[in-house]
Amino acid sequence: MCYEIKTQEGIAVGRTFAAIKDYRVDGNKEMIAIGLMNVVGSFTSCYVTTGAFSRSAVNHNAGAKTAVSNIVMSVTIMVTLLFLMPLFQYTPNLVLAAIIVTAVVGLIDVPAAYAIWKVDKFDFVVMLCAFFGVILISVQHGLAIAVGISIFKIILQITRPKTAMLGNIGGTDIYRNIHQYKDAMSVQGFLILSIEAPINFANATYLNERILRWIEDYEAGQDHVKKEGSDLQFVVLELSAVSAIDTSGVLLFKDLRRALEKKGVELLLVNPMGEVLEKLQKADENQEILRPNHVFLTVGEAVALLSTTMKGQSSTI
């Protein structure tokens, strides 16, 4: 765990100065270098080492340009430890702290922090946790807190993927989120939903419940659903944003199809990506999901074809 934190610290320091000096840092090479450095150091009972933020800032402000500065600094520290320590014995810690603070304070980028606040409030909270964790505790603890919160955010995004109801923009075959586009209106008899994440065991149950809730809201005719009022006949799932699926995801579609059949509603899939379509084909030997006229390239194609079918049935009746 200590090594992981030190590695993250080293990479973070490297990227900070890379942004200042406008060069690129390869995270893989950084990890190899830090790992090799710690392997060699372990033979001499060395502490876990990394690119320290404060010392890197001091080195940067001293005018260092290349890695040769590290050799000079190492030799200087070695000579100081061996021969000059008595001269620094009575140096107050306050003086040493002032040197570090003076070097680091110039790295605080207030405009960048404000930009993060405008773009993503959660990222701003992560930034504050990292900042105050480093200031009040230590660099390692600050990074650990920030990484922990970021992992929590990722888990939350995976387990609670976004779904959106799509509507048709009048005069076109374009379908967009009805909550983002005022001109987008739902199509009579269709509930068109977009799933915007890979489907796996972590979110399959949530998606099942969320889609069924969308159906209940549609049928109840709640105010926030913009529809003209009609019996639901088709649920269309737009899958272009679903890049991957596992067996739990396949079971999700089968469970949805069975649940919708009981309501007299058909399940349609639109634009499943290569991997998704391949796994559905392998798992759907009885064509429970990939039935004829139930998989389409675009939402417009699905609505156009099935609307014609609906009109034909109405005329026959």
Confidence of residue 1 (pLDDT cuts 50, 70, 90): low
- The answer on 147 and 34 residing in a single domain is yes
- Statement: residue 49 has pLDDT above 90: no
User: Which of residues 141, 158, 175 is at a domain's end?
Assistant: 158
Mean pLDDT, residues 119-131 taken together: 89
Domain of residue 196, residue span: 161-316
- The answer on 151 and 238 residing in a single domain is no
- Statement: residue 9 has pLDDT above 90: no
What pLDDT, on a 0 to 100 scale, did the predictor assign at position 216? Answer: 87
Here the CATH number for the domain that contains residue 290 is 3.30.750.24
The contacts of residue 68 (CB under 8 Å, 6+ apart) are none
- The answer on 174 and 52 residing in a single domain is no
What pLDDT, on a 0 to 100 scale, did the predictor assign at position 97? Answer: 79
Mean pLDDT, residues 268-297 taken together: 84
Least confident of 27-31, 110-114, 177-181: 27-31
- The answer on 99 and 134 residing in a single domain is yes
- The answer on 275 and 134 residing in a single domain is no
User: Which of residues 158, 182, 210 is at a domain's end?
Assistant: 158
- The answer on 278 and 300 residing in a single domain is yes
Confidence of residue 208 (pLDDT cuts 50, 70, 90): very high
User: Which of residues 143, 158, 173 is at a domain's end?
Assistant: 158
What pLDDT, on a 0 to 100 scale, did the predictor assign at position 6? Answer: 65
Confidence of residue 192 (pLDDT cuts 50, 70, 90): very high
- The answer on 234 and 116 residing in a single domain is no
- The answer on 256 and 129 residing in a single domain is no
pLDDT in tens, 35-45: 887 788 888 77
- Global pTM reads 0.67
Confidence of residue 230 (pLDDT cuts 50, 70, 90): very low
Mean pLDDT, residues 59-81 taken together: 79
- Statement: residue 263 has pLDDT above 80: yes
- The answer on 115 and 147 residing in a single domain is yes
**Total number of domains in the chain:** 2
What pLDDT, on a 0 to 100 scale, did the predictor assign at position 224? Answer: 47
- The answer on 178 and 225 residing in a single domain is yes
What pLDDT, on a 0 to 100 scale, did the predictor assign at position 3? Answer: 58
